[in-house]
Amino acid sequence: MNHRILSYCLLGLLVLACKMESKEGEKKLPDPRPNILFIMSDDHAYQAISAYDSTLIHTPNIDRIAREGMLFSNATVTNSICAPSRATILTGKHTHINGKIDNLTPFDTTQVTFPQLFQKAGYQTAMFGKLHFGNSPKGFDEFMIVPGQGRYMNPDFITTKGDTIQKMGYATDIITDLSLEWLEKKRDPNKPFLMMYLHKAPHRPWWPKAEKFKTYLKKEIPEPASLFDDYSHQGTAAKTAEMNIFKHMLTSYDCKVYPEVLEEMGIETDPRDEKLFNGVEMSRLTPEQQAEYLPILDAIAADFRAKWPLMDEKGKTRWKYQRYMQDYLASISSVDDNVGRVLDYLEENQLTENTLVVYTSDQGFYLGEHGWFDKRFMYKESFRTPLLVKWPHTIKPGITSDEMVQNLDFAQTFLEAAGIKSPNDMQGESLMPLFTGNMEQWDRESVYYHYYEYPGEHTVKRHYGISSKAYKLIHFYHDVDEWELYDLKKDPNEMHNVYDDPAYGDIRKKLKKDLEGLRLKYKDSEELDQKFIASYRDK
């Protein structure tokens, strides 16, 4: 803990010096504590960042953060679903503690969030973009957030005053405009700032900016090896989940085929499809925007008419996969462009040297692996999340860490970086030892996960589990009682459940014991499991 004590002392002396200078009537010095810029996208899979894997897309601006800082290859979430992940980030607590176990259950507003502590400690605080729960985030001097999921086109924003205003244009650009405007016009240069810059993209329905839409429509996206996984080596949960690209991806809402085309071709579709397609983004387009988008949608319709009747199930899966990935990656390309705008602003205004910059997502996402889209499972693609951090003079540029870190750790990390004492009831671990290379002060071997939203959309069963670098043990419960074990070294894509393999008997026994220990450490229990099942049933 020596580095923490030293950092607190140095920061304290510097802040005191600034105050003394001001009291003596001389020029007020800027507060020396670091700025925190927290950038988060929604459902941005690590596979779709070229610093992790250049197969799908090139993201030069997000990659800059890795090149100038640190990339975490084993960053994970505690609960792979939007609002619970955000509640964990803000509170530094597992979802069964902060109350936000799923997208339906209300957040416990008595919980202290780390921005409140920053605000109290004299930081200037702001949030722009997508929060996804609650319309009045605590601890912010100023915010403009989209209601709920928000919209890509001409989005509405809830402001600090409590009113709702509409901004015309594309959400990813607008959220960046708001963030840059605050930095340029409202930031106090004598105060450190905490800014949460939160993108809606690339959340479903993956609606790209018009020029990106047109460009990516021409791209052929490589398929994952497990696109046609039959789940023969996995349990009931994988077999019953409703997130298969062919079966469950909506042809109009998701793949952008006009509902009237499906009707004229006699293709039955989900009853929600037409309503969602017309009501979510199409209805928000101005005549000028329609003129940009309709030719692209016409091209999709023509391609669908020509190809769909001639394809078998595999061919139709491939067609939907291409449509999905073209739009998903096009949405990310806009995020990357806008991250570049903000990084450029920091450099041009001499803010880079004293700003800790984080890029992450609220969880991972399936990009066709196991034939899926969406998230929720503890399997790799949704359990892992991108995490890239740069902080000049503290983090060496261009390094990678494979330590098991979680979104649970963000709050305590930021608090320690700013020299602010974290509450004793936070459950994460500060990542400062990893930033500074003090590995003797980091001893975590495994992390805990718990997913609750079942029965619900995509029908992913309730489960909890433990993961280390080498193994992952998952317990599915509620209407099943099944265990799955994966050897992550031999089977990194988690295709073969070895729970019943006698060769893994000792490993299984140890992991179960370790899992019980984590449940106890984080104050989770079977009693809570049953309590949440009952309350969910009541809702």
Q: What percent of the chain has pLDDT over 70?
A: 94
Work out the mean pLDDT of the chain and round it to a whole number.
94
Q: Per-residue pLDDT tens for 362-385?
A: 999 999 999 999 999 999 999 999
Quote the Cα angle for 188-192-198, to 5°.
95
pLDDT of the residue at 22: 44
Sheet holding 164-166, edge to edge: 164-166, 156-159, 142-145, 124-129, 193-198, 35-41, 355-361, 387-390, 70-72, 399-401
Is pLDDT above 50 for 503? yes
Residue in this structure with the two tokens 């989005």, named with its chain if needed: 155
Q: How many CB atoms lie within 10 A of CB 147?
A: 15
Whether the CB-CB separation of 324 and 254 falls below 8 Å is answered with yes
Is pLDDT above 90 for 330? yes
Residue ranges of the alpha helices (H) in 308-366?
313-348
Q: How far is CA 481 from CA 45, 376, 401, 462, in A?
A: 29, 18, 35, 10
User: Helix, strand, or coil here: 486?
Assistant: strand
Confidence of residue 23 (pLDDT cuts 50, 70, 90): very low
Is pLDDT above 80 for 16? no
Tokens of 41: 């996208």
Tokens of 350: 């001499």
pLDDT of the residue at 193: 98
Q: At what angle do helices 82-91 and 410-417 cross, to 10 degrees?
A: 30
Is pLDDT above 60 for 14? no
Q: How many CB atoms lie within 10 A of CB 65?
A: 24
Residue 475's nearest CA partner among 512, 445, 501, 444 is: 512
pLDDT of the residue at 19: 45
Tokens of 361: 């997502």
Q: How many CB atoms lie within 10 A of CB 481?
A: 9
Q: Per-residue pLDDT tens for 84-142?
A: 999 999 999 999 999 999 998 888 889 999 999 999 999 999 999 999 887 789 999 99
Whether the CB-CB separation of 31 and 461 falls below 8 Å is answered with no
| Weakest mean pLDDT among 3-12, 67-76, 99-108, 238-247 | 3-12
pLDDT of the residue at 5: 47
Is pLDDT above 90 for 346? yes
pLDDT of the residue at 375: 98
> What are the b/e assignments for 249-261, b being 16+ CB within 10 Å?
bbbbbbbbbbbeb
pLDDT of the residue at 455: 95
Distance of CA 266 to the CA centre of its chain: 38
Is pLDDT above 80 for 538? no
pLDDT of the residue at 536: 84
pLDDT of the residue at 30: 73
DSSP 42: S
Q: How many CB atoms lie within 10 A of CB 451?
A: 29
pTM of the complete model: 0.94
pLDDT of the residue at 28: 61
Mean pLDDT of 63-77: 98
| Weakest mean pLDDT among 201-210, 399-408, 529-538 | 529-538
Q: Based on C-alpha coordinates, what's the Rg of the chain?
A: 23
DSSP 111: S
d(CA 213, CA 293): 8
User: Helix, strand, or coil here: 320?
Assistant: helix
d(CA 234, CA 252): 31
d(CA 163, CA 145): 11
Whether the CB-CB separation of 197 and 179 falls below 8 Å is answered with yes
